[in-house]
Structure 1
Amino acid sequence: MRGTFDEAHASFINEHLTRRTGERKGRLLRGHNYAEKLLLQNVWWPVFGTFQDLHPEYEISDWNRKSQFLDFAYLPPFGKFGLECDGFQSHVRDMDRERFSYSLNRDTFLTGMGWKMIHFSFDDVLQRPEICRMLLQLVIGPHLLRNTSEQPLHVIEREILRLAWSLGRRVRPKDVTELLGIDFRTARNWLCGLVDKGMLQPVGNGEKIRSYEMLATAIVRLTE
């Protein structure tokens, strides 16, 4: 069972603070603020439920060996992903031509170095996090799926996943009963089966589970 976000977040940041010294530690203390925490809370945590392989305020070097920091770097065994939460004021309105060019060149350079960059606007993270979660899963999902054992899906399971995708929200047993004309218990059993296969994530605990959210692997499987 997952702990609460606040507990996991505090442990996550403290762990990285204890590992760092000098400017890397100072950058984490200064740079990990409201927007960055909100990205974790509204987007990352609902999808993954863990901060494993995630690094806040991650130092990189550009083509001139100039030090820069990504909001987050996700470094699993199967790839390198950079995540950034961009506010309109700091990243667009107040950006001059030189900084704009550098921003584009930096992303191109990182792409050439094997990174996959993922940018979210602060407005979306705050007001439309479900869009960010969907995009995050679409980028990382194919890489995650190739590194996990693939279990076959029953035709009913595919129909449930298509329903969850079309709803644009968490799917409930009631939604499945209406789609398939089955009773509540059977619908819940099918949903639990998709949880076991890593396609869905229950929202709530124990008897209080009322809905299920799609995970990265589910979206990828629907596109096969």
Structure 2
Amino acid sequence: MANAKDGMNPQLHAAYERWMVSQVKASAGERRQRLKKGLSFSLKQFVARIFWPAVGSFDGWHAEYEVVDFKDGYRYLDLAKPSVAIKICIEVDDKGSHGQQADAYKFSDDRFRQNDLVIDDWKVLRFSLQSIMDQPRRCQQQLMHALAKWGFESDRIVPALLPTEMAIYSFIENRAESFSPAALAKAVGIHRNTAVKHLKSLVEKGKVMPDVGTKTGSPTRRYRCKKGYL
């Protein structure tokens, strides 16, 4: 059964358990011990509220990923996708470990940690626990936008939408009004031409529809969510 405190539905819970078993089997030493203790509350909330709705797959992702820092010590990344082409690190910050309650040394060390990752060509995304709990849609959109920009267009499994398409659809799905491609591009943070391309794809996939006010044969100027398609 899924743990209600984790916010995981049965499908996610089953995928998460399989993923964690495989992570433990593939690990050793300190990383293995960390994984056996289980992920933190903050990271589980990120997985349930942000990562799974946005990405829909754990393929290629690692929890408590071990990297060597510039002092020949070890650092552990909350969530990482270390592909050959690009290395992505996602960090979840809570006040206790990264914010007001952290002492001066830990605060400074956390900055050195991120700088080391950037120097080593990691793409770093950071989300606070507060934003995960209070602004999940914005976090999802930012994650999908980053993955799309970095070339990970095919991770999303259900529904079969690209990350940028998911960002557009997430913005309009609960809104009754229609939107122009320019307005959607601004909301999601992409170029208007890119928005037009993805809107056409969303129409083909049955997720959005041209506004009913658009005349037959004329260019589509506005789009809205296609009600009843889930």
Whether the TM-score (by the shorter chain) exceeds 0.5 is yes
| SS at 2:151 equivalent | helix
| SS at 2:88 equivalent | strand
Equivalent-residue separation in structure 2 for 1:61 and 1:31 (angstroms): 22
Residues 195 and 109 from structure 1, CA distance in 2 versus in 1: closer, same or farther, beyond 3 angstroms? farther
For structure 2, the residue ranges without an aligned partner over 5 or more in a row are: 1-9, 155-164, 181-199, 208-226
Instruction: Report how many aligned residue pairs link the two structures.
Output: 172
TM-score, scaled to structure 2? 0.64
Deviations for 1:171-220, whole angstroms, at most 9, x for unmatched residues? Answer: 68xx58x679xxxxxxxx97462479xxxxxxxxxxxx9456xxxxxxxx
Deviations for 1:75-133, whole angstroms, at most 9, x for unmatched residues? Answer: 23431011111111221122222222211111111111110111100111122111111
Equivalent-residue separation in structure 2 for 1:55 and 1:195 (angstroms): 33
| SS at 2:150 equivalent | helix
- Given that 2:31 and 2:76 are in contact with CA atoms closer than 8 Å, whether structure 1 keeps it comes out as no
2:33 to 26, 31, 49: 26
Instruction: Report the CA distance between 1:64 and its aligned residue.
Output: 0.3
Instruction: Report the CA distance between 1:34 and its aligned residue.
Output: 2.2
Equivalent-residue separation in structure 2 for 1:109 and 1:95 (angstroms): 20
* Aligned residue in 1 for 2:173: 170
Alignment of 1:74-85 (within 5 A): 74-85=81-92
Equivalent-residue separation in structure 2 for 1:191 and 1:166 (angstroms): 8
| SS at 1:126 equivalent | helix
* Aligned residue in 2 for 1:193: 204
**Alignment RMSD, CA only?**
3.1
- Given that 1:28 and 1:57 are in contact with CA atoms closer than 8 Å, whether structure 2 keeps it comes out as yes
2:103 to 86, 92, 96: 96
2:136 to 129, 132, 140: 129
| SS at 2:99 equivalent | helix
* Aligned residue in 1 for 2:70: 63
* Aligned residue in 1 for 2:14: 7
Structure 2 counterpart of 1:168, one-letter code: F
Q: Which moves more between the two structures, 131-140 or 30-39?
A: 30-39
Deviations for 1:115-152, whole angstroms, at most 9, x for unmatched residues? Answer: 0111100111122111111111222211226x77xxxx
- Given that 1:78 and 1:144 are in contact with CA atoms closer than 8 Å, whether structure 2 keeps it comes out as no
TM-score, scaled to structure 1? 0.66
Q: Percent identity?
A: 23
For structure 1, the residue ranges without an aligned partner over 5 or more in a row are: 149-160, 181-188, 197-208, 213-224
Equivalent-residue separation in structure 2 for 1:167 and 1:44 (angstroms): 14
Equivalent-residue separation in structure 2 for 1:14 and 1:169 (angstroms): 37
Equivalent-residue separation in structure 1 for 2:137 and 2:88 (angstroms): 20
| SS at 1:73 equivalent | strand
Instruction: Report the CA distance between 1:21 and its aligned residue.
Output: 2.8
